[in-house]
Amino acid sequence: MPRHVILLTDAHEAPAYELIEALRLAGVQTLIEGLRDVEAEAALIRHREIESTGEKLQEAPLAVLHEVIAGADTVELHAAIDHAKMFWPGTPVIACRRHQMGLHGFSVRGLDGATLKRLGFRAIADKAAQLPAILHEIEGHGATGELKLPEMVRPVTESGLASLPAKMKAASLRAAFDLVSSLHFIGDQSDAAQVALTGLTALAKADRWTIYLLADEKGPEAATLEAIASLKPAEKAIAELRDDLREVLLAGEAVSTGNESKAARLAGAGMGTIRKKERGEYIVAIPLICGERILGVLEGRREQRSFKKSELALLEALSLPIASALANAVRIGEAERLSQTDDLTKLHNARYLRQFLLNEIRRARRYGTSVAALFLDLDDFKRVNDAHGHLAGSHVLMEMAGVILSSIRDTDAVARYGGDEFVIVLPDTGIELAGTVAERIREKIRKHSFNAGRNLKLSLTASFGVAAFPEHASSPQHLISCADTAMYEAKAANKNCVRFSPLLRSREEKPASEGGVPVSILDADEGKAFS
């Protein structure tokens, strides 16, 4: 059997398309196994039948994967790990984070890497693109060998852990390793900072920990400090008593610029580690240095007794991997942004559109709202390329992106779907309002004078197709398909107009021979969108 992995899924979430596609491109086959009680029981029966008949079990997988969503129940995670150990003993279990967006587009934090490893996961992949490298390391070092970080980012462990104080208790040493390992592959600086502060609370006592970043590139003297994460361990302790691990990472408080201590400003200005007393508080400030550059400052405050030299030595050692993680977060975040951005127009691409639309339709199902999609295609755009060249055509597409962006809300999403086609997703929008938005954009395009980078003053029009969930479609893929079909109807109606998809019920009533939509499409699982 070819190289393969087992992907454990539950009854609530369909497998992420990006995860399966990343493995496919790496030449790894994905076998999906459900974690529902019925499916697990059926799998157990099959396993026992094979053992009783003496048949040869299939080749062991490279790893068992399990997607971890924000707010995942630790009981369910334990069940997934137990399931993997039962059927594939000795096979490493990898947690694959599945990032979700909140109601206003904010990333929802989940369990940190150290917690996931304590639960029994061998490695954690924050992005689907990291899986091939992790599997390669597993193949090279075996199921129990040491995993090394891929070369895509600078390791955050070498310089920090090597300089840890020689005399440390086993629990503190373990906590230090957990802190550093939890920082791997975090693609957001605020998340990395919050995870670092959460880990620090187990190593050194303070009334409040804060991480600042230098907010100005002109040099240390002109730089200002901007707080990106702050944590009061008292709040963390309350969250732990509630047995709500998500609260641990969400316990930070906002700290406005200008509230930093003098010690923090001195550390940020290149004066090294500063320990002093200010306004009745004992303060320590450690510069976060990556390479030869000061990225920010780690600040600790407490009212009782000064920070000891042993604590300073520990904090200085951990400041190195924390700084490295903050620097890596920028690179990882930028790589992720580029992977979801169209190179020409700088709009989102189809990859981003897939996940955004999937999340919005899930939210619409949960709250009983609507999601609309506008599919627009420029009319006779080929004439621009033929008459003025493809460079002029590229400039027109960039101008078109600006026209569309100026006509939608911040909560909407627009993606270049391909060529001169664009898709606009309007969350919390019914079909009537979507039609109004389409007509407004259509008219704005018609009136706009496109200079194509040469002051050509070209006039263009566009044809629009409009569809909405759940009125016209039952899944993300179906929604785009309906809007696309409506767009072609607009093309057939002399172009430069807006057409709407027929209601879902009216199409269900038509037999397939009369142009009705097959039931298999209407019942398509939203998790298989765009597959």
Dist CA 156 CA 113 (whole Å):
14
Dist CA 430 CA 447 (whole Å):
26
Q: Is 484 a catalytic residue?
A: no
Q: How far is CA 22 from CA 134, 138, 283, 331, in A?
A: 12, 17, 47, 20
Nearest residue to 517 via CA among 475, 478, 467, 469: 478
Q: How many CA atoms lie within 13 A of 155 on its CB side?
A: 11
Dist CA 27 CA 440 (whole Å):
46
Spatial contact of 374 and 412, defined as CB atoms under 8 Å apart: no
Dist CA 63 CA 123 (whole Å):
10
Provide the 3-class DSSP secondary structure of residue 212: strand
Residue whose pair of structure tokens reads 């990291």 in the numeric block: 130
Dist CA 325 CA 184 (whole Å):
7
- In 3-state terms the chain splits into helix, strand, coil percentages (rounded to 5) of 45, 20, 35
Q: Could you please report the per-residue DSSP string of 341-363?
A: B-TTT-SB-HHHHHHHHHHHHHH
Q: How far is CA 354 from CA 131, 212, 231, 424, 480, in A?
A: 20, 35, 35, 12, 10
Dist CA 457 CA 245 (whole Å):
58
Q: Which residues have a Cβ under 8 Å from the Cβ of 372 and sit 6 or more positions away?
A: 425, 426, 429, 430, 431, 433, 434, 437, 466, 467, 468, 469
Spatial contact of 427 and 367, defined as CB atoms under 8 Å apart: no
Annotated catalytic residue, options 178, 188, 420, 484: 420
Q: How many CA atoms lie within 13 A of 371 on its CB side?
A: 30
Q: What is the DSSP letter of 527?
A: G
Which residue type, as a one-letter code, is found at position 465?
A: G
Task: Point out which residues pair with 8 in neighbouring strands.
Answer: 33, 66
Catalytic residues: 420
